[in-house]
Structure 1
Amino acid sequence: MASAITTLAADAPTLSAANTGFMLICSALVMLMTPGLAFFYGGMVRVKSSLNMLMMSFISLGIVTILWVLYGFSLAFGTDSGSLIGWNSDYVGLSGIGITELWDGYTIPVYVFAVFQLMFAVITPALISGALADRVKFSAWALFTVLWVTVVYFPVAHWVWGAGGWLFELGVIDFAGGTAVHINAGAAALGVILVIGKRVGFKKDPMRPHSLPLVMLGAGLLWFGWFGFNAGSWLGNDDGVGAVMFVNTQVATAAAMLAWLGYEKLRHGSFTTLGAASGAVAGLVAITPAGGAVSPLGAIAVGVIAGVLCAMAVGLKYRFGYDDSLDVVGVHLVGGVVGSLLVGLFATGGVQSDVAGLFYGGGLEQLGKQAIGVFSVLAYSLVASALLAFLLDKTIGMRVSEDVEVAGIDQAEHAETAYDFSGAGGGAASRSTAAPTPSAASKKVDA
């Protein structure tokens, strides 16, 4: 008995300074993704809505952080209850956790795991905001965020990643958030926009991005932060799986960007910066669930397929008449579905697990499991999000007035504007105080 106890003690995980430091860096990288998303979305809207778009992402850092500490971590990763939700009173307020207490058989502290997962919870509702540009009250958006993460994100995170969660137990593979983050957010976006309706002037007025450099900056920050998002989700790199995920993230993103640009050139005749940025994000989304299961060649296939299908999907809003302002449905929902399902085809059985996809001799079993995960999360998030939006719309109202929307939501909701040109050289202010030229004076006299 004594020797058995000694053996068990020797096999027990111990805190790894290397893995802990790695995960803290990954957490910071994921945090950077939310400001990156704010720039990405903020550049894609018109000037009069750019600050509001920035704030709809940025406010998530405040709201979700507090909710995660109070009860979110407990609901998502506490002891399972009925395969649907978790709960652990020690996690409430993060008050019952020892500073060196390790997370569930890993070599990192619970605090490190909690803060890493917090950053996922922060960015997911921020993703939804891109579909709602120009027309939602900021106070209503803040309250929607509170309700949505509580009712939708925390339970779905438990289904997918929590020990005992029903999708986790089923064997659905989601390395870093194809279902829990991207399908979840994309389906929620569709549910909300079906309730609140279209922007004034949709399909009639030009609604072009006001700053493509901001869009490219945001896409670059997202790409950079995504390495922490994906590689960090293995919670260490003792066995090299995180390194494979890092490589696959880069490879799939590059392939998706090129595929989107190729499709764009064939369809519309141009290679656009917006297409490059959108294609890169589509690749990042699609490889998120699949990157720990596929080879680099498989990652290329995932990227190409996602780049083309997402580029095709963004035009569906004009065909079906739903106003997805910044293509959250076309990129995140479609990209998440594509990446999650392709696990069932391209999983090699030699990276994160021994589960093989159809093209590697594994049959259709894993594809079926992936489909269950995809469509259950999609349906739940779509319906629950639509109901939450309907409730808020009928009580406090979700939309600003038509006059505010036309004039610009920034001034009405935030009492600010993104750009101040009043002191710029050659502007109206400087011309109004300048002495008239002789020709101008003579014209006044002649008049």
Structure 2
Amino acid sequence: MRQCICLIVLFGVAVVSGSTATGLSADDALVADDAIHWGDPLGPISATEADDKLVLLLITNDEPIRVDDAVDVADGDDQRAAVDAPNGVYGWCTDVFADAFRELRHRRPDLRSKLMLQWLPAGLPRELTGGKVSNGTARAVVLLCDGHYRLASFLVGVPDADDLLTLIEDGQEFQRLRSLDTQGRQRVVANLAGRSSQRMDRLWRQVLEESVVAMDGAADDRGGVKDRGIGELEPDFSYESFDQVATQRMLVLNERFGDMYLADVRLRFGLTEASDVERLVTLEQHIQTRRPWCEAMIPFIAGIQVDQQWPTLVELIWGHPAIRGDFDASELVQQIKTLGKDETFVFSIQPPTALRNIPWPPISDDTSGAGAGWQRVQELATKTRYREVDWQQLAAAIRGGDLTPIDVRGNSLLRYVILPAGKTKPLPVFQNSPPGRVVGLLKRFNR
């Protein structure tokens, strides 16, 4: 009995001594075990780690972090906030996501060393929202990538631990399929489509199966595929050719599955009015809302280079371009600062990716004359300091050039931004603006 007591005492001393030796109390050790490290979004991963890592990339429509911003660190004694705050993580759902990630690690400790967590805020910056932080209803997309940033799986909304586990297991399945089939993507697509079809209702399953058949038909006889086949874009079905056409492929897929998704949510949630758009955005915070669309897309886009293609995928979901805060537009900013005092700049704004095949300016319309008016606008614009830019470049130019913020969210497409010589207030021109008035402005500025 005395031996047992001695052993218990010695064991207790050993535990206390071990805790003291590491400098951590039991509570401190628990907090350290729960600590979440958010890595740099799409940052480099060493070659020795890349083959063994999976990256969970959370993309939200919070205002982007800008390189020269000082990030506010949360005050107070909350230990978890102290862990997260130094990394500058402030997203609308990052705390909830981190809790789900912690629970996942407790359930599956074998994944602890394999997973990397990243957060990318990519909403509209205040330079494009009239100077105010205003991104509307909160949104989130989660991409699971391998260590080389190839897409393995994805979802739309804020997942819990169960959702994350399914996402990771789906991604691991894709990795296994890809490693077993090194000749191309066709068999991998078929296997992933088979998995997705088991999670869909009958109508979605039919559309997905038709898409797989179209891909197979394109592979067997490209000339005989009358439908705009999923496979017709690729000269073969290797990942190398896939990288070359990934953007166009996503647009084709969204044409197929986007209309189906809208019809589906109208039926499921009773969405009938234009005002229901905001309600749908709120519903998409739950992953089941857009789950069928994600399941239909993933067989065909698994393997895309996320570091190159994430803006296109997110734009298709959000309906507007995603913006990074660390974009370098120093060359354009320098031009504005050097030449802007004496020359008028006209920025021609690239439309959303899905609309870039529509010609601009429009063909002349003899009935309304609007086409001819916009052609005249384009003619005068090219006689100024003319640049074609996207929203990302525009935001960086406004910020770096110390220009007055504008609001790009009109009720029609933003087509031009005019910066008169010697001014700091840009003038946005939307597609529903009277072209005659824009012509008058450009004539005046070109004198």
TM score, norm. by length of structure 1: 0.24
* Higher fraction of helix: 1
**Higher relative contact order structure (alpha carbons within 8 Å, sequence separation ≥ 6):** 1
Higher share of residues assigned strand: 2
Q: Quick check: which has more Rg, 1 or 2?
A: 2
